[in-house]
Amino acid sequence: MQILVLGGTRVVGRHLVQAALARGHAVTLFNRGRTDDALFPEAEHLHGDRDGHLEALDGRHWDAVVDTCGYVPRVVRQSVDRLRGSVGRYLFVSTISVYEDLPDPGADEDAPLRTLDDPTVQTVTGENATVVRPGMVVGPHDHTDRYTYWLVRVRQGGAVLVPGVPERPVQRIDARDLGAFMVHLLERDTPGVFQAVGPDHRWTSRDVMDVCEFALDVGRAVAGGLTFRPALDTARDTLRWRGDVALEDLAVGLAPAREAALLAEAGV
């Protein structure tokens, strides 16, 4: 397949591109060229800006496009309009944050969605549209450190202030599994909306049978395993990637003094 990726150098796009190349697909990256532009020399690189400077996409055709970095409806609409007639399938990477309330494990894609105050917002739908709504995306090359911080902090030892409550588990997915799953959807030219969460929580989405087939097909070729990898494998690989980084060098996280004060306040 000829696959166009909008973005392609950060965590989700990076692992998607790796999975696509591993499957033998031809990949074109379109981005501003500001982040790891030397990545993937075997792929084609086009530079521009999705907010008003999409000229590099004109006169081309791809079997599919994957939109990994659409945050504002107006900007996404520009890409959709520009690529109409130039791509066979448009796969948009959304988020579980579109739901009215964070869904409990077992909720499916028909759970109520949030609404925006702006009545002019347009919805992108159609037979050529595929929407993937990941849970918390984690794993190597996650520049946000929102997951990595906890691994590094726990590795230090001692009492750790952790977020959340047991009744509200976080539905995570390894970015490598997410990338492989999306390539699978493109290969099957699959329309629709799909939740994407890891195996450690109940998954009763309507695509569960498709995932079973994915485990036998794509999983061995791309991930080297049967299906989405266990949480401990993700944690181990993420720490190996981050190395012996200090807490203060992470992008996010509690300052040690603040954590100590909160633990003391809680009587720990």
- Eight-class DSSP state of 171: -
State yes or no: pLDDT of 140 exceeds 80.
Answer: yes
Which domains occur in the chain, in start order?
Answer: 2-135+171-229 (3.40.50.720), 142-170+239-268 (no CATH)
State yes or no: pLDDT of 225 exceeds 60.
Answer: no
With cut-offs at 50, 70 and 90, classify the pLDDT of residue 209: very low
Rounded mean pLDDT of the chain? 83
C-alpha span between 238 and 242 (Å, rounded): 6
218/113: higher pLDDT = 113
Taking residues 125-143, what's their average pLDDT? 88
> What is the pLDDT at residue 258?
92
169/34: higher pLDDT = 34
Handedness of CA 142, 146, 147, 152 (dihedral sign): positive
pTM score of the predicted model: 0.83
Task: Give the tens place of pLDDT for each residue, 70-103.
Answer: 888 888 999 999 999 999 999 999 887 787 776 6
Taking only Cα atoms into account, the Rg of the chain, rounded to an integer number of angstroms, comes to 19
Q: What residues have CB less than 8 Å from 67, skipping those under 6 apart?
A: 6, 7, 76, 79, 90, 91, 92, 93
